[in-house]
Amino acid sequence: MHTTEIPIGYDVLAANSELARSNRHKLEKHGVTAFNIMGAIGSGKTLLIEKTIERLGKRHRIGAIAGDVVARIDAARFEKHKIPTIGLNTGKECHLDAHLVEHGLEKLPLDSLDILFIENVGNLICPADYELGEHKRVVVVSVSEGDDIVEKHPVIFSTADLIIVNKIDIADAVNADADKMVRDARLINPRIDVLKMSLKTGDGFDEWMDFLNRSIKKNSSL
């Protein structure tokens, strides 16, 4: 890893976006469609990716980047599924950025991948500002975060392509209205895809498969 000197007044986010474009170009050159999976700690990001590997791992070649503040617990969960995995530790930072992901891409066998899942650090604030080079931005939010979580974090939902309202199996137990969360998401971002899911019961998983297939097809016809 190297550090980059940033001249005073230089726009950090603009520099990040430039690196993100270069990451995306690199991914496209190798025919890889990348998904930036964002959401709070415990919303179900890692489990979503694991279940997707189980469902699609025989038909598509999947790789993963796991962003964590410290340790590589999520990376180890992906490695158990025998897919190429890079764990990125952000240290004190609460989000991944395009520079970290650039180093992750250097270590992945991109030529032998079709799909890359990038699990961002658990946080609903700053990951919204940092593009990584992904093709699609997905936010996983669970009903146990409270059904006002969407309206409280408009920025991340306004930049997402898909919102997954997860853990609907426990909505009654935590007194949450999943449909309100869906309505809030559509108010913030009318173009967004929203689906309700339970990774426990499998509800909504086929719609997630449809979203993935549409996204992959669109990218491969570029």
DSSP 50-119: HHHHHHHTTTS-EEEEEEESSS-HHHHHHHTTT--EEEEE-TT-SS--HHHHHHHHHHS-GGG-SEEEEE
The single residue among 23, 46, 159, 198 that binds Mg ion, judged by CB under 5 A, is: 46
* Least Å from the CB of residue 197 to ligand GDP: 6
Q: Does 36 bind ligand GDP (CB under 6 A)?
A: no
Q: Which stretch binds ligand GDP (CB under 6 A): 95-103, 109-117, 162-170, 208-216?
A: 162-170
Determine which residue in the list 55, 126, 154, 177 makes contact with Zn ion, applying CB under 5 A.
126
Q: Does 169 bind ligand GDP (CB under 6 A)?
A: yes
Count residues near Zn ion (CB under 5 A). Answer: 4
Q: Is the dihedral of CA 111, 29, 32, 3 positive or negative?
A: positive
Q: From residue 82 to residue 121, what is the string marking binding to Zn ion with x (rule CB under 5 A)?
A: ------------xx--------------------------
Q: Is residue 74 a contact residue for Mg ion (CB under 5 A)?
A: yes
Close Cβ partners of 6 (under 8 Å, ≥ 6 residues apart): 12, 15
- By beta-carbon proximity to Mg ion, the closer residue of 13 and 41 is 41
Backbone angles phi, psi at 108, to 5 degrees: -95, 145
Query: CB under 6 A: which stretch of 86-94, 125-133, 152-160, 197-205 binds ligand GDP?
Result: 197-205
Tell me the sheet residues that pair with 89.
Answer: 68
Q: Phi, psi (5° rounding) for residue 68?
A: -145, 150
Q: Please, which residues bridge with residue 13 across strands?
A: none
